[in-house]
Amino acid sequence: RMALRAALAAADGTGPPTRLGDALTEAAGVSLDELVLRVQRSPGDRTVLTGLAPVVDRCAGEDPVARSILAEAATALAGLAAALRRRLGELPVAGVGGVFAMPALWAAFRNATGAVPPLARPEVGAALLAAGPDT
């Protein structure tokens, strides 16, 4: 969502220039206006936006706006991890999910939390948790 906002702001001259507009529209195969309409028509359906997240990662190497978006996302995720640690204690943190496949986001999250890659796929971990503490 932040990348789409940044692309719109760049297009109308109210934000800094960014490659995100061209990259997002190329990936989606539609104009920026049509992409906005898709998101607005189904605000609860995040598949359009999540499908565009790797585009932000690809742009981050040479686009400061994209880098900033990933850094902000990593900060937000690190804040969630910190909140869980305050509530549950100093537990180890592992980065699980497709968002952590983005190198820039993973690096920032790891630096903020000390996170490590998971030892097993999420479904294996869930099965071990479901089996109980004796497994």
Residues of the chain short of pLDDT 50, as ranges, are none
Residue 44: predicted pLDDT: 81
**Dihedrals phi, psi of 116, to nearest 5 degrees:** -125, 160
Residue 100 to residues 34, 50, 133: CA-CA distances in angstroms?
28, 13, 28
Instruction: For residue 24, list its beta bridge partners.
Output: none
- How far apart (Å, rounded) are the C-alpha atoms in residues 122 and 135? 16
> What pLDDT does 135 receive?
54
Q: What pLDDT shows up at residue 87?
A: 94
Query: For 77-114, how does the pLDDT look when each residue is reduced to its tens digit (9 = 90+)?
Result: 999 999 999 999 988 888 888 888 898 899 999 999 99
d(CA 92, CA 114): 8
What is the model's pLDDT at position 134?
66
User: What pLDDT is recorded for position 9?
Assistant: 96
